[in-house]
């Protein structure tokens, strides 16, 4: 049966609030992800969307449980970053594909599959943190290892064979292939892993629904699938329309602005906005299933165990992101494996949830900002670049995590935690990305970064307004009963 002690706060959340603000968080964050890429870039979206929804629906609950839910949502969103999708997008808009409706349809189907899997993991793990079911660290370690096993089974069944030298590709293949370009001589198909992630996601959904009876996790996983299946094709439809109808953008209003629009980044921003809005709406529909954080706030891992896991994960993360070590890349460069240690640490630790929300997620983003602006573009001196774009942000992030850890140990209610965390994260990633964009001020000469810079500015201001509005409210303590007709 549903928990009848859901907070009275949830009945006061209007349906449009999670849709609007999660769309802002997802749109900005996924647009920012485009500059940083892969699993760690996608974690920005998981972080901002999760914090936004936690702020809206969980005000007045214990901070550790809220941090755990948001951290799981952050890591879960990163799992799908292993999937290749550039060539799938290419099927819908590359010059050689223009006019081929079958290729367009197949590419959109591929984007729906990959988008659904990507966001499905984010929704699932966020739901696991909010549904009132206590997941122990040993249980989560076992579950993640089981997901890895399911992943490799899916790879063998759906993403094999892959032997481009002999033109052997899987039967269901959504990247560049000789089926669409039979005369191509320099085609370079890429290995896909969506089949492995499909098997892993189905396994996780089945486990939460039928073994752990976690109705919220199961439903949020499905809502994530819906958000990704709609969001990725919706975003790409804009870019594909532009590619298929270039002449329409060479006259009238569009002739002035077309050269200043980064259509790829617009695709990413639209994808993020749609998936964020869908997750927000899905959680609003299931708001009765959000349970008091007191049930999920215990700590299991000793400090030494948490530090050991951090000491193991961080060097591997740095090696994958900034080095080229085959022995490490062949194992740890897969999202499902990269998530094992964080998911386990978050489940049982006090340090890990806050570490993931602040320094762990930030580290690769700050490092890539330095790499781009200091070494690739020489836009700033090494000393200044490292200080401004890495050292200062990391010090702030570490200080924030230490502060929150102390507050979690002494403060009974965490009304201010998600508000402050959202403010810090939203502005931190906005500013780093704005520097990455080379500060596209709207009053300066426009570049291809200016339109997205304006959109991200609107989004970060919107999230700031949300945080300020929430600061003026008091926690709702009165229990509210779920609808009598609903049950597990």
Residues pairing with 166 in the sheet: none
- Tokens for 68, please give them: 């755990």
Summarised one tens digit per residue, pLDDT across range 201-213 is 999 999 999 999 9
Residue 60 has pLDDT above 80, yes or no: no
Q: Which residue has the higher pLDDT, 470 or 126?
A: 126
Rounded to 5 degrees, what angle do the CA atoms 279, 242, 264 make? 50
Summarised one tens digit per residue, pLDDT across range 336-367 is 999 999 999 999 999 999 999 999 999 999 99
Q: How far is CA 136 from CA 11, 99, 142, 169, 218, in A?
A: 30, 53, 10, 41, 18
Residues pairing with 7 in the sheet: 479
> How many Cα atoms are found within 13 Å in the side-chain-facing hemisphere of 305?
15
Distance CA 161, CA 361 (A): 35
Distance CA 373, CA 245 (A): 35
Summarised one tens digit per residue, pLDDT across range 106-119 is 999 999 999 999 99
Distance CA 70, CA 188 (A): 38
Residue 19, number of CB atoms within 10 A of its CB: 19
214-218, 295-299, 415-419, 465-469: least confidently modelled range: 295-299
């Amino acid at each position: 049966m549903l928990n009848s002690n859901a907070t009275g706060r949830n009945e006061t959340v209007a349906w449009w609030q999670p849709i609007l603000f999660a769309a802002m968080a997802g749109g900005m964050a996924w647009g920012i992800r485009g500059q940083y890429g892969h699993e760690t870039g996608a974690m920005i979206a998981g972080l901002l969307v999760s914090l936004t929804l936690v702020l809206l629906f969980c005000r007045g609950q214990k901070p550790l449980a809220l941090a755990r839910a948001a951290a799981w949502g952050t890591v879960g969103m990163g799992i799908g970053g292993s999937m290749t999708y550039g060539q799938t997008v290419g099927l819908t808009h590359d010059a050689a594909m223009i006019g081929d409706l079958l290729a367009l349809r197949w590419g959109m189907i591929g984007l729906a599959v990959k988008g659904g899997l990507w966001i499905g993991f984010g929704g699932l793990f966020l739901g696991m943190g909010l549904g009132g079911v206590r997941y122990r660290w040993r249980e989560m370690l076992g579950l993640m290892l089981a997901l890895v096993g399911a992943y490799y089974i899916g790879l063998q069944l759906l993403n094999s064979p892959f032997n481009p030298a002999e033109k052997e590709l899987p039967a269901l293949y959504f990247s560049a292939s000789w089926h669409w370009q039979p005369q191509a001589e320099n085609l370079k198909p890429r290995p896909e892993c969506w089949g492995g992630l499909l098997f892993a996601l189905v396994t996780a959904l089945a486990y939460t629904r039928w073994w752990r009876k976690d109705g919220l996790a199961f439903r949020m996983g499905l809502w994530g699938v819906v958000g990704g299946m709609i969001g990725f094709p919706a975003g790409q439809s804009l870019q594909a329309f532009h590619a298929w109808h270039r002449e329409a953008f060479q006259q009238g209003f569009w002739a002035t602005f077309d050269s200043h629009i980064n259509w790829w980044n617009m695709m990413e921003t639209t994808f993020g906005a749609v998936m964020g809005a869908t997750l927000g709406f899905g959680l609003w529909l299931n708001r009765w299933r959000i349970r008091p954080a007191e049930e999920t706030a215990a700590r299991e891992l000793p400090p030494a165990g948490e530090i050991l896991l951090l000491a193991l994960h961080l060097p591997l993360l740095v090696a994958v992101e900034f080095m080229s070590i085959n022995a490490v890349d062949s194992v740890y460069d897969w999202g499902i494996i990269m998530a094992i240690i964080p998911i386990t640490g978050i489940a049982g630790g006090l340090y890990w949830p806050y570490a993931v929300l602040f320094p762990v997620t930030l580290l690769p983003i700050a490092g890539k900002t330095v790499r781009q602006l200091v070494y690739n573009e020489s836009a700033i001196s090494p000393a200044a670049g490292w200080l401004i774009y890495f050292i200062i942000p990391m010090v702030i992030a570490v200080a924030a995590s230490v502060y929150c850890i102390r507050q979690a140990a002494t403060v009974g209610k965490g009304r201010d935690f998600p508000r402050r965390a959202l403010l810090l994260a939203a502005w931190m990633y906005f500013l780093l990305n704005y520097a990455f964009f080379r500060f596209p001020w709207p009053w300066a000469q426009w570049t291809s970064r200016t339109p997205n810079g304006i959109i991200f500015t609107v989004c970060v201001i919107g999230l700031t307004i949300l945080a300020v509005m929430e600061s003026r409210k008091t926690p709702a303590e009165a229990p509210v009963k779920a609808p009598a007709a609903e049950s597990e």
